[in-house]
Structure 1
Amino acid sequence: MHDIRAIRENPAAFDAALARRGKAPVSSQILALDSERRACIQEAEAAQADINSASKQVGAAKAKGDEAEFERLRGLVSEKKAQVANLTEQAKVKDEALTDVLMGIDNLPYDDTPHGADEADNVEIRRWGTPATFEFAPKEHFELPATQDGLDFETAGKISGSRFVILSGAIARMHRALAQFMLDTHVNENGLTETNTPVLVRDEAMRGTGQLPKFAEDSYQTTNGWWLIPTSEVTLTNIVSGLTLDETQLPRRYTAHSLCFRSEAGSAGRDTAGMLRQHQFEKVEMVSVTHPDHSRTELDRMTKCAEGILERLELPYRTVALCVGDMGFGARRTHDIEVWLPGQNAYREISSCSVCGDFQARRMNARFRPAGGGKPEFVHTLNGSGLAVGRCLIAVLENGQQADGSVEIPKVLRPYMGNASKISADGSLA
C-alpha cells in the first residue's frame, strides 16, 4: 500500500512513477477522497469542540435557573452529537474507500528498474554455464524413457483433473532430494532460517502480501473462508505482521519448503504439456525482512542465493531484470532467473526475486524501532524462489538426458539418492 503523505507532497512524482508501468494518473482521485475524508474529520472535531463548550455552559444555565438557555444548550448538544456521529461514519466510509483505492494500485518501480512494456524489454544481467550439445534431438521431460513410469498425468487427471501429476519411484525421490538439497544449502550456506508454515491462511495474510483483493481469482478459497497459499511468501512475510521489531533484529531471513496452489486463471492453453505449469506444486521460498537502507542490496544477495542452487546442480541459466511492464504488482524491482531446458530449446523461469520496499509492510503494519531512537519506521520486505522444485526437476531431467534414455544425476544430488549416479531408461536408480 502507498503512503498517502507522500502522494500529498508530490502527486506529480507519484503519477509519473505509475506512468512508467503504463498506468493512468490517479493522484487527483486519491487526493479528492483524502480531502473529503479529512474535511469530515475536521468538521467532526469542530462539532465535538462545540459539544464540550456547550456541556460546560449547561451546568451554569441550570444553576442560574435559566431554563430557556438550559433547554437550548441541551438541544445544541444533542444536535451536535448526531452531527459528530454522522460525520464520523462519513469519514469511516471515505477512509475505507481511500484504502481500497490505495490497495489496488501497483507498487512504484525503483529508478533502476528497466523501462519497457513486456517481456521483450527485459534486460539480461548475466548468463552462467553453456547449454550442452547433444548428439541426438533432446526430448522434453515427459518424453524421456526414464520418466515414463515416474510421471503419471493420466491417473492424476482421473483423480484431480488437468494440470496435476503423480510422481513415483526414482522421479519422486529426485523431487524430494531437490527440495532437501535446496533447504540444506539455504540454511547451512546462505544463513536463512528454516521455517515450516501453514498452507491455509486468513484474508488478512493474503491482503498483507498483496494477493487480495486484486488477485483473488488466482487462488483457491475453502468453504469456510481460508485461502490455500499460492506461495509461502504469504506466511513467511506475515510472521512480522503487526510487529515492531528492534533494528538489531534486522535482517530476518527465512526459507520454507511448501506446497503451493494456484488456479492459473487466465493461463488457458499455456504450457499444458508436462508439469511446467501445475495447480499444485512445491517451492522452496526465501523471504527477507530488512532495514530500508539495505533492501536493494538484499535483492542482489537473494538473487545470488537462488543462482547458487543452479550452479551447484550445473544447470545453465540466465538472469534478467524485469522491465516495468512485466513486473509483478507488489514489486519495485524483480530479477527473474531462467534455467535452460534443452527439450524446449529455451530458457524458462525458475525463480523470481523481488524487492517490495515498504509496500507489504504498510499493508501488514510491520515496523522497526531505530537503534538511535525516533519514531518506528516500516520495514522493507523481499521474496524469491529458491527454487521452484518441479521446474528444477524438469531442468535436471532434460539437461541430464543421455542417448540411451537414461538421466545422469547431478553430483550434489547423489548423496540424497543413495549415491546413485543415474536414473536408467527403465526408471530405476543405478
Structure 2
Amino acid sequence: MDIPPPPAPEPPPGQGHGPGWPPPYPVPQQPWYPYPQPFQEPAKTSGLAIASLVTGIVCCVPPLGLVLGGFALAQIRKKGLRGKGMAITGVVLSSIATVLALVLAVSGGFGAFWDGFREGIDDAKSRRSTMDLRKGDCFVVPGGELEREVVKVNVVPCAEPHDGEVSGSFKLDGSAFPGEQRMTALADQKCWAVEQEYAMDSWALPVEAESYYYTPSQQSWKVGDHSVTCAFATTSGKLKGSVRNDARRLDPDQMTYLRAANAYDRVLAAGPDQDRVEDDLDGFKKWAGQVSEVLTQEGTRLRGRSWPSTAQDPVDARLKEVDLAQKEWAKAAVAADADAFYLHSGAADRALRQATEVAARSALHLATTPPATDSGGSSSGGADGGSSGGTDSEETDGGSGSGSGSGTEV
C-alpha cells in the first residue's frame, strides 16, 4: 500500500502556487536566546586572613598573628572565602616571631630589645629641626656637642636632663643672607634682652647656664629660616628643670624691681669697645649719658610703685643709691678729661652697694646669691653661638658663628 506524500505547504498570503514553491531552503526563523544566567559573585577575602598577615609582618604581638591565622583558615574552609595564602603567610611569620620572642625572653634580651625599640620610637617623635624650636622647649643635642653645626635636636621635658632651653627668638631683616659676622653681632646684642625677659632674675640662673644661640645657615636661609633662636645651654654637664622665671612665675612687685635692675645691666654692657677712656673719651662720655638716663628711669619706676610694707625700706635704700649713682654718671657724661671721667664713674660704681641690693631682693623674695662673676654692682658674661642648618628633608650643615657679650645674666 502506497502512502501518499504530505500536502505541499500553503504559500504565504499574497503568493500563489507556482514553480519554485516550496522554496529550496527553509524559511528563516526568528533566532532563539536562552534565559540569562544569574551573576556569580567572586568569593570574599577573609578579614581574619588579612589581619593575620599584617600582624605577622609588624610582629607587634607575635602570638596574635598565629591565632588569627588559625581562625582564618577554619573560616575559609567553612565559608569558601579567599585569603588562604595570606593566612598561611601570617601564621608562618607569627610563628617565627613567637619563637624569637621566647628565645629573647629566656636569654633576658627581650627587655633590652623592647626598651631600645621604644626609645627609637620616642627619639623619632621628639626629633625636631633647629628651625622649628619654640620658646620654652628643652632639648638634647645628639652627641652632646653644642659648639658645632646642628641640624636637629631632641626635644625633651624640662624636668629631664637636657643641654639647652629656648628662651625665644628674633627675626632678621632683609631678604639677602646677612653673613655670619652680622648675625653674630645681632645675636650677641639681642639674645641677651630676649633671655632677660624669659629669665628675669639672672641671680636665680644655674651657674652652668650660658647664653647660646642658633643662627641660620646659607642653606636654611634659602628655605625661609630667617630667625635667630636664643637659648640657655651648658657645655659642662646637663641642665635639669626649667630656668624660666617671667610673668608666669613672678608677681608685679618682683617684675617691677627686676625690669629696673635689668635695664641698668644692659646699658652697662653696651659700653665702648675701647678698654681705656683715653682712647675714646667722647664715646665713653656718650655712654655715661645713657647710663645716667637709664638710672633716672629706674628711679622713676621704683618711686612709682607702692611696695609691700616689708619691702618699702629696703627698696627706698636702694633708690637713694640709684639717685646718687645717676648724678655721678651725669657728671661723667660732661667730664673735661679722662681723669674726671674716672673720678665720677668710680664714685657711681661705689654708690650701688651689693649689700643694699641683696636686702631689697630678700624683701621681695628674689634670689639673693649674686652670680659667680658679679663684682660690685655689675658683672660680665659670655655668649657663644652655633648655627642651625638644613631642612627636615635635606640635612645640610651651615656655618658656625660665635661671639661674646657682657652683662650680669650669665
Q: TM-score range, shorter-chain basis? A: under 0.3
TM-score (structure 1 length as normaliser): 0.22
Larger-Rg structure:
2
TM-score (norm 2): 0.23
